[in-house]
């Protein structure tokens, strides 16, 4: 198994500012997919719909101010059964996001693409918290022919 890993620092007043962007359908729509529906509470399923497809994430674990964990239950075959983990901590006026999309079966070209896309969306999350405006699909940075 292989994982996508990223670390991003978000200038914020508290970890709660970032945690809130990961635990509300409205704020998730503000940085990842404009077309987001569902239940962002523990045990709920969030439906993310993008120009190029979509994902369904089951909310497995919520630890306020510390961790959000989703299991992918719908979407491309490569994503099914993988987990998306957001670990949060406070450091020097920043909320540090230790991001992991774990459990990929192999590091194929699609995984390479998804790693780069996750990076652009993490920067969109950062932008939303710091400025009030993110860049969710369909307004995100395009990185190639797969969007």
Q: What is the pLDDT of residues 45-80, one digit of tens each?
A: 999 999 989 999 999 999 999 999 999 999 999 999
| Tokens describing residue 101 | 């999309």
- Residue given tokens 């990961």 in the structure block: 22
pLDDT tens column, 23-34: 999 999 999 999
**Domains of the chain and CATH, by start:** 2-131 (3.30.530.20)
Beta bridge partners of residue 6, listed in sequence order: 99
Q: What is the pTM for the complete model shown?
A: 0.95
Sign of the Cα torsion 57, 50, 142, 25 reads negative
């Amino acid at each position: 198994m292989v994982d996508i890993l990223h670390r991003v620092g978000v200038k914020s007043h508290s970890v709660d500012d970032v945690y809130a962007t990961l635990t509300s359908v409205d704020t998730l729509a503000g940085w990842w997919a404009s077309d987001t529906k569902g239940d962002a509470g523990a045990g709920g399923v969030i439906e993310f719909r993008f120009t190029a497809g979509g994902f369904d994430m089951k909310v497995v674990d919520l630890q306020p101010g510390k961790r959000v964990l989703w299991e992918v239950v719908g979407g491309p075959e490569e994503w099914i059964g993988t987990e998306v983990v957001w670990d949060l901590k406070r450091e020097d006026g920043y909320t540090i996001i230790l991001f992991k999309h774990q459990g990929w079966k192999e590091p194929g070209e699609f995984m390479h693409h998804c790693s780069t896309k996750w990076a652009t969306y993490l920067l969109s999350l950062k932008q939303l918290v710091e400025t009030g405006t993110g860049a969710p699909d369909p307004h995100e940075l395009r990185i190639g022919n797969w969007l």
